[in-house]
A and B are shown apart, each in its own frame.
Chain A
Amino acid sequence: MAQLSLQHIDKIYDNNVQAVYDFNIDIKDGELIVLVGPSGCGKSTTLRMVAGLEDISRGNLLLDGRDITRAPAKDRDMAMVFQNYALYGHMTIYENMAFSLLLRKEDPNVIHKKVLAAADILGLTSQLNKKPSQLSGGQRQRVAMGRSIVRNPKVFLFDEPLSNLDAKLRGATRREILLLHKRLNATMMYVTHDQTEALTLADRIVCMSMGHVQQTGTPLELYDSPNNTFVAGFIGLPPMNFFDVTFENGALYGKGFEVQLSDAEKATLAGYNRKAITLGVRPEDIVEGGSLPVKVFSNENLGMNTLVHGHMGDNIRVTAKLRGWTDYKNGDIVKLGFKRKHFFDKETTNAIRKGDR
């Protein structure tokens, strides 16, 4: 297994478009890092640079201390699993899994042992004589993973491996990847735009936007202490509610509503008196029984929770994720309160933390 270090990595294309800016991370042995962000944020480009499928314009890539910035893909000892599986349709599953080892001219008996071991891990033993077209999407993706496992690479790279699967299969395959990571204790880099995948799989998440790293941290850190409004809005489903407010006399004043703060919150905003800031509240941190009247326009029952969409103050939109089953009708007024609040600087969009000013 391996430690991977990305130091000041930039990607600039020939037409001078920069896709990745100053990417830095030290990935520990056996760690699963998830790169997450919207389409076009540079996460797949970063992964492809690590794999050697894209040139690194600036910066260094170290694998176990060895500089592999300019090393060709085949010499990097990394295996990549693609979104579209990239299986050979005319070969059986066994042949697909054995193919890379055959090219390396490994002993057929050794190949056989490795393929059977990988198939056993992935539950593919009974499928080895089938062709990829005879398998479901989830099974094909497992074959693609098996093809990586047999190579016993230092680093596994996953490029949106679950995007082609339906929701149910995606959940099951996600759990399999997690079990696989625990079983192999392998260093992995995983790219996704799905924040649920990121939160459930990652040891650490790198959240990217427009080629810049917005925040690197554990899933809890990104969820609980987002660095800026982008991370706050991207991580969490439904996304965080944002309100333009002004901090004055120990309370927040928005358009047609007022929010009282605790002493700790007041202390956090001590340097922002009479200044406009952004208040962020997660839907799950909104509770019934508060002092803010909200006029409901939509009630979505999810079983265990209910999403209540409404307007408060001067038509400010708010979404609350309430526990249990509620049955509010369009036009109902419900009184809500904010349990946990996040504050962001309006100009920089960065989080305001205690002692910032």
Chain B
Amino acid sequence: MMNDQSIRLDRMRFTKNTTSSRLVLLAILFDAIYFVSLYKINVEYYYNMMMGASILYNLVFMLAAFLASEGVKNYKQGYSWVLCLLGAIQIVRIFIWPVHAHATSVTVAGQELLAMNNGQFVRAVIYLVASAVCLIVAAAVNLTKSRALKAHIAGLEGQKA
């Protein structure tokens, strides 16, 4: 006779890990908002190679995160580490372009202005942090669930044998 805990575990054999998968999709959404919000800065007067690299990285990020969301949906443990890596990179990104743009002045119509003002900077940081948190939580949830499921399946196979 199975108790509620073991039924919950057994359910995972037939249901997807939608919690992790949806968290990753949310992380992609935060990243997209961050990315779009960057264009609000005085881009006509401020451009460097990092901006181009950021565009390319965003494409890579979205692809990798989406693949990982499908992976964690099926309790694949390896994708948890991919998500952790992507989450860490999201934190690191704060210190690359937003910090750089926030510290840089540009001259617009004879006036000296910050390339990225304080409000924009705070919002950019929030979006990246939110994205990173979603990714790391998704990874943690998947790791916990997939390990529990693995143990449960091993137990069932042991019973059969």
Please determine whether A129 and B14 come into contact, CB atoms closer than 8 angstroms: yes
Number of A residues whose C-beta is below 8 Å from B?
Answer: 10
Within 8 Å CB of A128, what residues of B?
Answer: 13-14
**B7 contacts which chain A residues (CB < 8 A)?**
109, 112-113
Task: Specify the chain A residue showing the minimal Cβ separation from B14.
Answer: A94
A289 contact set on B, CB distance < 8 A? none
Return chain A residues, CB-CB under 8 Å to B14.
92, 94-95, 112, 115, 128-129
Q: How far is the CA of A224 from the CA of B113 in the complex (A)?
A: 100
C-beta contact mask, B7-30 vs A, less than 8 Å → 1, else 0?
110110111000000000000000
Q: Which residue of A lies closest to B7 (CB)?
A: A109
B149 CB to nearest chain A CB (Å):
13
Complex CA gap A82/B15 in Å reads 26
Does A108 touch B at the CB level, under 8 Å? yes
Looking across the interface, which residue of chain B has its beta carbon closest to that of A128?
B14
Which chain B positions have C-beta within 8 A of A129?
A: 13-14
List, in ascending order, chain B residues with CB within 8 A of A95's CB: 14-15
Chain B interface residue count, CB cutoff 8 Å, equals 8
Chain B residues contacting A92 (CB-CB under 8 Å) are 14
Interface residues of A in 103-122 (CB under 8 A from B): 108-109, 112-113, 115
**B157 interface hit (Cβ, 8 Å):** no
Considering the complex, which residues of chain B in the window 1-58 have a beta carbon less than 8 Å from any beta carbon of chain A?
4, 7-8, 10-11, 13-15
In the assembled complex, the Cα of A95 lies from the Cα of B73 at a distance in Å of 15
What residues of chain B lie closer than 8 Å to A94, measured between beta carbons? 14-15
* CB of B115, distance to nearest CB on chain A (Å): 46
A103 CB → nearest B CB, Å: 16
How far is B14's CA from A128's CA once the two chains are assembled, in angstroms? 7
A314 CB, min distance to chain B CBs, angstroms: 69
A109 touches B15 (CB 8 A): no
Q: Separation in Å of the B67 CB from the closest CB of chain A?
A: 19
Most chain A Cβ neighbours within 10 Å, of B4, B11, B13: B11
Please measure, in the bound complex, the distance between the C-alpha atom of A135 and the C-alpha atom of B13, giving whole angstroms.
19
Max chain B Cβ within 10 angstroms of own Cβ: one of A95, A109, A115, A129: A109
Closest to B10 in A: A112
Closest chain-B Cβ to A17's Cβ sits at a distance in Å of 47
Residue of B nearest to A119 (CB): B14
Task: Tell me, in angstroms, the Cα distance from A324 to B86 when the chains sit together.
Answer: 77
Which single residue of chain A is at the shortest CB-CB distance from B11? A112
Q: Counting chain A CB atoms within 10 Å of each CB, which of B4, B8, B13, B14 scores highest?
A: B14
Q: Which B residues are CB-close (under 8 A) to A108?
A: 8, 11
Given the complex of chains A and B, what is the CA–CA distance between A95 and B15 in angstroms?
A: 8
* Complex Cα–Cα for A129 and B13 (A): 8
Bitwise, A52-95 to B at CB < 8 A (1) or not (0) is 00000000000000000000000000000000000000001011
Question: In the complex, A109 Cα to B4 Cα: how many Å?
Answer: 7
How far apart sit A325 and B7, CA to CA, in the bound complex (Å)?
A: 59
- Across the interface, which residues of A come within 8 angstroms of B10, CB to CB? 112
Question: Which of A92, A112, A128 lies at the interface centre, i.e. has the most chain B CB atoms within 10 A of its CB?
Answer: A112
C-alpha gap A350/B8 in the complex (Å): 63
Give chain A residues whose Cβ lies under 8 Å from the Cβ of B4: 109
Closest to A97 in B: B14
A12 to B14, CA, bound (A): 46
- Residue of B at shortest CB range from A113? B7
Minimum CB–CB distance from B25 to chain A (whole Å) comes to 17
A94 to B4, CA, bound (A): 19
Point out the residues of chain B lying under 8 angstroms from A112, CB to CB: 7, 10-11, 14
Chain A residues with CB under 8 Å of B8's CB are 108-109
A247 to chain B, nearest CB (A): 69
Assembled-state Cα–Cα distance A129/B14 (Å)? 6
Q: Within the complex, what minimum Cβ distance (angstroms) separates B12 from chain A?
A: 10
B37 vs chain A, min Cβ distance (A): 34
> In the bound complex, what is the Cα–Cα distance between A115 and B7 (angstroms)?
12
Cα distance, A92 to B10, chains bound together (Å): 16
Known contacts A113-B7, A128-B13; 11 further A-B pairs (Cβ under 8 A)? A92-B14, A94-B14, A95-B14, A95-B15, A109-B7, A109-B8, A109-B11, A112-B7, A112-B10, A112-B11, A128-B14
6 pairs, CB–CB < 8 Å, chain A vs chain B: A94-B15, A95-B14, A108-B11, A109-B4, A112-B10, A112-B11
3 shortest A-B CB distances, which residue pairs?
A94-B14, A109-B7, A112-B11
